[in-house]
A = this chain, B = another copy of it.
Amino acid sequence: MAPAEGLHAARSRGRNTRQLVHEVLRSRIVGLELAPGSAVSENDLAAELGVSRTPVRESLILLADEGLVDIYPQMGTFISRIRERDVASAQFIREALECAALREAVEKVTARDVAELRALLTAQEEADRHSDMQGFFQLDEDFHARLMAVSGHASAWPVVSQAKAQLDRARRLSLPMTQQMSLLIGQHREVVDLLEEGDLDRADGALRSHLRLVFSDVEKIRAKHPELFSDEDAPLRPRRDSARRTASRGDG
């Protein structure tokens, strides 16, 4: 009850309601707080967030453009299930852009860049020690973003980030993440080392295999949580949760 009442209060800075709602919803979707396949409605969200339908609707349209929700006119809006095709596409985009950036980064990297990347690595180890998955995901995002920035193509990061969102949504479920985290950090460190050495091909290979590992994780998760993935066969019939009001209405 009375959940996100503080949304309006935080409007102080330049961001308007639409942008705030967009961030909140995106965070909830990527964080799996809103499960793939579940229905969301403009009305319910507007009521919950304490705003009108307009900014909610506009946010949902943007999220649909990002592939995070599917809007079926006159039927409803649903958190998109993870699609085989989208995952493969996202992986391809990530790998192509991040590796291409890394190859350029080798020529431009400075000592300061390496220091900043190393600082992120130690922070990741800290998160690992505290089993802080939420924090680790954020630091992982920061690391890869920083890596692209070294090449001077930071402005291409939003594209990678959008592709990454599709993958991260599944990775959140990787329960033995506590075991994985140190492995991932080790791979990060290897990339930084090779980048500093200027070994272009091996750095590229290290980053590529790191990204592929993430990709294979998703495939494992698919076996464990098939309900989050789309069957590709009958994705055109999203079910509307029928017995919803009956329970809350009680009887008389």
| Interface set of A (CB-CB < 8 Å, partner B) | 16, 18, 57-58, 61-62, 65, 73, 85-86, 88-89, 92-93, 95-97, 99-101, 153, 155-156, 159, 163
B93 touches A156 (CB 8 A): yes
Selected from B61, B97, B101, B156, the residue in CB contact (under 8 A) with A58 is: B61
Q: Which of A85, A86, A100 has the most CB of B within 10 A?
A: A100
Instruction: Report A210 CB to chain B, min CB distance, Å.
Output: 17
B86 touches A155 (CB 8 A): yes
B85 touches A92 (CB 8 A): no
Query: B residues within 8 A CB of A58?
Result: 57-58, 61
Q: Is the interface of A mostly helix, strand, loop or mixed?
A: helix
- Whole-angstrom distance between the alpha carbons of A16 and B156 in the complex? 31
**Residue of chain B at shortest CB distance from A95:** B100
**Residue of chain B at shortest CB distance from A162:** B159
Q: Known: A16-B73, A58-B61, A65-B62. Contact between A93 and B89, CB under 8 A?
A: no
B89 touches A155 (CB 8 A): yes
Instruction: Report A114 CB to chain B, min CB distance, Å.
Output: 22
Query: B residues within 8 A CB of A85?
Result: 155
Q: List 11 other contacts, CB 8 Å, given A61-B62, A65-B65, A96-B101.
A: A18-B61, A58-B61, A62-B65, A89-B155, A93-B97, A93-B156, A96-B96, A96-B97, A97-B97, A100-B100, A159-B159
